[in-house]
Amino acid sequence: MNAATTTPIQSDVLLPERLGDLTGLNEFGLAGELLSTLIGAVIVGSLILTMTAVAGPWAKRKITASFTDRISINQIGPAGIGIIIADAVRMLSKENIIPENADRPAYDLAPIVIVGSALLGFAVIPMGSGIQLADPEVGLAFAFAVAGIASIGLVMAGYASGNKYSLLGGLRAVAQNVAYEIPLVVTGMSVVLFAGSLQMGAIVDAQNTQTLVDLGVVSIPAWYALVNPFAFVLFLIANFAEVGRNPFDMPEAPAELVAGYQTEYSSVYFVLVYLGEFLHIFLGGAIISTIFLGGPAGPGPAALGIVWFTLKIWGVFFLTQWLRSAVPRVRIDQLIEIGWKGLLVLSFANLGLTAAIVGVIA
């Protein structure tokens, strides 16, 4: 690894601070800081939710349609993009049917937990162009931790619905998340060993300040996907299990469990659960982009960071949809077996190997 230094892609100033400077809120002390942070959060949240809105009702249908030789939505607006509004109105105006046997507070809270946990994770993601809400020392650990809360949401949804299919889906979700969270985190740790920090900003910088190969005209940066492709693949697989997508879409398993933990949700609650799923796919994509694909780095000025970052997230999203169209789902026992006997062992091997290599180089 050549230590050719380039300008760090990571801006030192976080979004809330900049907003504070811009609006003059910083002068109001703690209250001002809080307000500017909130404004920042609204901006980041809107960005992510807009992406989900495009993905859920429109892009997903279009992508699946092209895989399956269909045209799909094309009536409202150019390429059917207006379906986003139509669907929003449709879903929100439906009757919210709550089953008699539902365990009320838990049933109502579950969708919020699922969505909330995913949204929280975006707080520490450096999205480029200076969009990052916070960059704590424990950034990566925080992202994993809040994403993990979703499992609780899934169990709540499954258990509180009072439906056997939901229950089975909820149980599967836990078994699956427990089995795959460990390899996910352990593989993530190997990246931390390279970067020497849990801080998201530092991980991004570490990838982009070093060059893997210098070809003269172009230099290939030391993105960890290229430095350690093995860890990248491991992480990708564990991530698909974590977000519950083919070949690991066990918790829903439409043909088997009707719709798993979300069977009983309708109207707004369904929108939330569905939204939560997409948010988790995007959060998974964001973590992958950040720790393996150089975060917002890309050709052109640093101001384009958010564009590159979005493209990378969408790349991961596209991959999930591709797998969904093309790959069968494994059985629940096989899934657990792959998790505990395969990925766990491999991820620890990867961690040990990385530690040794990093130690030797150091």
Residues that bind other proteins (CB under 8 A): 64, 67-70, 164-165, 168, 172, 246-247, 249, 253-258, 321, 324-334
* Shortest spacing between CB 97 and other proteins, in angstroms: 16
* Rounded Cα distance, 283 and 11, in Å: 21
Q: Which is nearer to other proteins, 65 or 88 (CB)?
A: 65
Token pair of 88, please? 């929003």
* Rounded Cα distance, 94 and 89, in Å: 9
* Rounded Cα distance, 199 and 124, in Å: 9
Q: Which is nearer to other proteins, 13 or 67 (CB)?
A: 67
Residue 91 has a CB neighbour count (10 Å cut-off) of: 16
Q: Which is nearer to other proteins, 316 or 332 (CB)?
A: 332
* Shortest spacing between CB 78 and other proteins, in angstroms: 24
Q: Which is nearer to other proteins, 22 or 326 (CB)?
A: 326
* Shortest spacing between CB 255 and other proteins, in angstroms: 4
Q: Which is nearer to other proteins, 322 or 348 (CB)?
A: 322
* Shortest spacing between CB 337 and other proteins, in angstroms: 10
Q: What does the CA dihedral 65, 70, 75, 77 come to, rounded to 10 degrees?
A: 40
Burial of 296 (0-12, 13-18, 19+ CB in 10 A): buried
* Rounded Cα distance, 112 and 42, in Å: 17
* Shortest spacing between CB 176 and other proteins, in angstroms: 12
* Shortest spacing between CB 89 and other proteins, in angstroms: 24
The angle at the Cα of 54, spanning 130 to 312, to the nearest 5 degrees, equals 45
Q: Which is nearer to other proteins, 312 or 329 (CB)?
A: 329
